[in-house]
Amino acid sequence: MSGITQLRIGPYIYRVEYVKDLRAADDTRLAGNIEYEQNVISVDRDNVEAVQLVTLFHEMIHGILANAGIVHHKERLIDAIATGMVQAFIDNPDLAEEFIRPECDHYHGDDRIEPCTEGDVLKKLGNIGMEK
Ligand SMILES: [Zn+2]
C-alpha cells in the first residue's frame, strides 16, 4: 500500500514511509507510528494491505487530535474510529466519490483529468454546509 506517500493533517504535510519490521524505542513491534515534530508517519510494510490502511487512518487520527491539543488519548478509541472509518468506506464505496470527486475533477474531453486542487476540495466541503 505504498501509493500514499503524503498525508495532509491540518496545516501539516506528513511524509508517509513504509518500513520493514517497524519497532518502538523499547524494541516492541509497531504497526505504525507518527512523529508530530518531524511530520512523518511510519507504517509497517510487512502487514497486510488492510492493516496498513487502518494503521494509516489510526496515525492520522492521532495527528488530528494532536493538532487540537489533545495529546493524551486512548489507543482503543483511536482503533475504533480508524477501523470504523475504513469499514464505512468499504461498505459504502461511493462515499468518497460522492463526497469530493464529482465536482473537483477537471475533464478535458480527451480522457485527461487534472487532479483535485485544495481549492476544489475546500469549495466542495464549504458547499456541503450551505446546501439546504
Ligand atoms: Zn496509536
Q: pTM here?
A: 0.75
The upper half-sphere exposure of residue 52, i.e. CA atoms within 13 Å in the direction of its Cβ, equals 20
Is the pLDDT at 14 greater than 80? The verdict is: yes
The upper half-sphere exposure of residue 36, i.e. CA atoms within 13 Å in the direction of its Cβ, equals 12
Instruction: Identify any residues that bridge with 107 across adjacent strands, giving them in sequence order.
Output: 113
Cα dihedral 91/86/125/105 (nearest 10):
-80
* Interval between CA 32 and ligand 1 midpoint (Å): 7
Amino acid symbol at 61: I
CATH class of 6-91: alpha beta
Amino acid symbol at 122: L
Q: Cell 461498505 appears where?
A: 91
Amino acid symbol at 68: A
The arithmetic mean of pLDDT across residues 66-82, rounded, is 93
pLDDT, residue 70, reads 92
Residue 23: all three cell numbers together: 519497532
The arithmetic mean of pLDDT across residues 97-101, rounded, is 62
pLDDT, residue 93, reads 78
pLDDT band at 132 (very low <50, low <70, confident <90, very high): very low
pLDDT, residue 111, reads 64
The arithmetic mean of pLDDT across residues 25-42, rounded, is 96
Residue 16: all three cell numbers together: 508517509
Nearest to 116 by CA among 96, 86, 88: 96
* Interval between CA 74 and ligand 1 midpoint (Å): 8
Is the pLDDT at 33 greater than 60? The verdict is: yes
Is the pLDDT at 99 greater than 60? The verdict is: yes
Is the pLDDT at 109 greater than 90? The verdict is: no
* Interval between CA 59 and ligand 1 midpoint (Å): 6
> Domain boundaries in the chain?
6-91, 96-130
* Interval between CA 100 and ligand 1 midpoint (Å): 27
The arithmetic mean of pLDDT across residues 93-118, rounded, is 63
